[in-house]
Amino acid sequence: MNALESLRYFIPETIVLAGAFLVLTLDLFLRPKKVLAALSILILIAAAFFSFSLPANPHVFSGFFHLDSMTVFFRLFSYGVVALTILISTCYRAIENKFEGEYYSLFLFLALALVLAAASANLLMIFLTIEFISILSYLLVGYEKKNERSKEASLKYLLFGSVASAMMLFGMSLVFGATGSLWLDAIPVTLAKESAFFAVALTGTLFILAGLGFKVSMAPFHLWAPDVYEGAPTPVTTFLTVGPKALGFAVLLRVLVGAFGWFRFEWGPVIALLAIITMTLGNVTAIAQTKMKRLLAYSSIAQAGYILMGVAAGTVAGIESVLYYLVAYALTNIGVFTIAIVVANQSKNDDIESFRGLSRRAPGLAAAMVLFLLSLAGLPPLAGFVAKFSVFAAALQVQLYTLALAAALNSTVAAFYYFKIVRLMYLVPSDSEQTVENPAALSFVIILLLAGTIALGLFPAPLMTLAHNALPL
């Protein structure tokens, strides 16, 4: 399908792209910047509204993108996550009014980039879209322009990201050398014929894995994450722990399971091992943290480890579990960060100590936080439990016993530090009587996410069906 015909199916993306420029232009004239936030959210809702029409032939734009049900899944996911992030950002104080409009339009561009990454059908296109996401992320991380930490984080992110991109590109060149193709659907066909280049292709795959591992904060490519997450403006951190990570997994699934599913038994154990390292490093390091954002940073690294279990399985159940996990994780993690923003707005710092006695000062907020943390810890009957259950099941189905056992033990360690926060909120008396002020927008986000977390835990069937239908097979 040529570009013009394909545009018909890219209406949502066209809306988002036009919307991004519109917001950028309006920013020059409009004073009250919150209007721009509202407009951006409306644009995303409008785009989501047009998301469901699928072409008969998924290969659009001369085959560079495939517009299949998996793309639609991640399209809705991305728009949802970006819309929530924008909503949270309106209540974040550290972004200067002068730059606020630009900030929202950057997020709209980012929404576009995420969808394109999920849709890419060509290694080169994957590289371009991942870079698109990365560059926008670097900008947003450094958005608190007068904050040294924010700038430092941005620079660190840029340096690490560049190395990762270079590795990924190198890997792609190896794959191209071995197979003579950059098309995801052509690679397995060539490989089946040219078995002589197996080793080269496998090496190339591992390099690509390194590049994507950077995006999903997989050990040993996670080192940037804590510093960047801590330095970035909190709404951006929220977004980074969810959006690019999820899309990293989408691409990982497309590349590993889609194109290289053929030698699943070669890369499967590698991913399983990396999953164990990732979750263990994340969990063990999280225990000692005293800053909320850092604790959540390590927690999100550990969560990436659990999600990798589904990738390591590489089966249909594995992919489904990854998709389910990503949604459950997005709901809970954005929820936790939103509450962290509310609390930090009041205490003016990021210490987990500021959660002291929250159950007395803001009972509703504390209860919501407990539910989110329980979901992150994987306790029933919440979304996180079903998610964890699914990845466990996926791993056990293909006899990855060590991985499942390691994950079980890790979950206990994780419960320990999640309960550190619960303990502060409920067991420790507060030193101040100050109540916590909670802006309406954030309350709305929290209630929405909480409802989702509980609903996905009690009634997981609809999302499971959705994840099943999203399979690219």
Partner 1 sequence: MASHLLSWIVFTPLIGAFAVLFIPKSAAEFTKWVALAATLVTGLLSLFLLTQFDRSLGTVQLTEKALWIPQINVHYFLGTDGISMPMVMLTALISILACLASFSIDLRQKEYYFLFLLLETGMMGTFLALDLFLFYVFWEVVLVPMYFLIGIWGGPRKEYAAIKFFLYTLAGSLLMLLGILALYFHTDPHTFNVLELAQAHFTVKFQKFVFMAFFLGFAIKVPVWPFHTWLPDAHVEAPTPISVILAGVLLKMGTYGFFRFAYPIAEDAARWFAPYMAILAVIGIVYGGFVALAQTDFKKMVAYSSVSHMGFVLLGLAALNQNGFNGAMTQMFNHGTITGGLFLLVGVLYDRAHTRDMTAFGGLGARVPLYAGFLVFFSMASLGLPSLSGFVSEFLVLLGGYQYNRVLTAISCIGIILAAAYLLYMIRRVLLGPLNPKWAALEEINTREIITLVPLMILIVLFGLCPRLLLAYMTPTLNGLLQSMGGLAL
- Residues contributing to the site for partner 1 (CB under 8 A): 359, 374, 379-381, 385, 389, 392-393, 396-397, 404-405, 408-409, 411-412, 415-416, 419, 422-423, 426-427, 460-461, 464-465, 468
Strand partners, 60: 65
Residue at token pair 């997989």 = 218
The Cβ of residue 420 has, within 10 Å, a number of other Cβ atoms equal to: 18
CB of 252 to partner 1, least distance (A): 23
Nearest residue (CB) to partner 1, 161 versus 357 = 357
CB of 242 to partner 1, least distance (A): 25
CB of 413 to partner 1, least distance (A): 9
Q: Compute the radius of gyration of the chain from its Cα atoms.
A: 21
| H or E segment to which residue 212 belongs | helix 198-215
Nearest residue (CB) to partner 1, 298 versus 385 = 385
Task: Spell out the residues 6+ positions from residue 385 whose beta carbon is closer than 8 angstroms to its own.
Answer: 375, 378, 379, 457
Strand partners, 120: 65
CB of 464 to partner 1, least distance (A): 5
CB of 422 to partner 1, least distance (A): 8
- 217 in Cβ contact with 300 (< 8 Å): yes
Nearest residue (CB) to partner 1, 150 versus 321 = 321
Instruction: Say how many CA atoms lie within 13 Å of 194 toward its Cβ.
Output: 19
Nearest residue (CB) to partner 1, 380 versus 439 = 380
Task: Spell out the residues 6+ positions from residue 193 whose beta carbon is closer than 8 angstroms to its own.
Answer: none
CB of 397 to partner 1, least distance (A): 6
Nearest residue (CB) to partner 1, 55 versus 380 = 380
Distance between CA atoms of residues 95 and 143, nearest Å: 7
Strand partners, 351: 291
Distance between CA atoms of residues 14 and 46, nearest Å: 11
Nearest residue (CB) to partner 1, 48 versus 327 = 327
| Number of helices followed by number of strands (H, E) in the chain | 20, 2
CB of 399 to partner 1, least distance (A): 9
Nearest residue (CB) to partner 1, 190 versus 397 = 397
CB of 401 to partner 1, least distance (A): 8
Nearest residue (CB) to partner 1, 169 versus 393 = 393
DSSP string, 60-116: ETTTTEE--HHHHHHHHHHHHHHHHHHHHHTT-TTS-GGGHHHHHHHHHHHHHHHHH
Distance between CA atoms of residues 88 and 123, nearest Å: 34
CB of 323 to partner 1, least distance (A): 13
Q: Would the CA dihedral through 326, 452, 12, 45 be positive or negative? A: negative
Nearest residue (CB) to partner 1, 97 versus 290 = 290
Instruction: Say how many CA atoms lie within 13 Å of 238 toward its Cβ.
Output: 27
DSSP string, 251-306: HHIIIIIIISGGGHHHHHHHHHHHHHHHHHHHHHHHHT--BHHHHHHHHHHHHHHH
Nearest residue (CB) to partner 1, 262 versus 419 = 419
Alpha carbon distances (Å) from 456 to 82, 275, 443: 20, 25, 20
Nearest residue (CB) to partner 1, 347 versus 397 = 397
DSSP summary character for residue 353: G
- 275 in Cβ contact with 312 (< 8 Å): yes
CB of 272 to partner 1, least distance (A): 15
CB of 118 to partner 1, least distance (A): 23
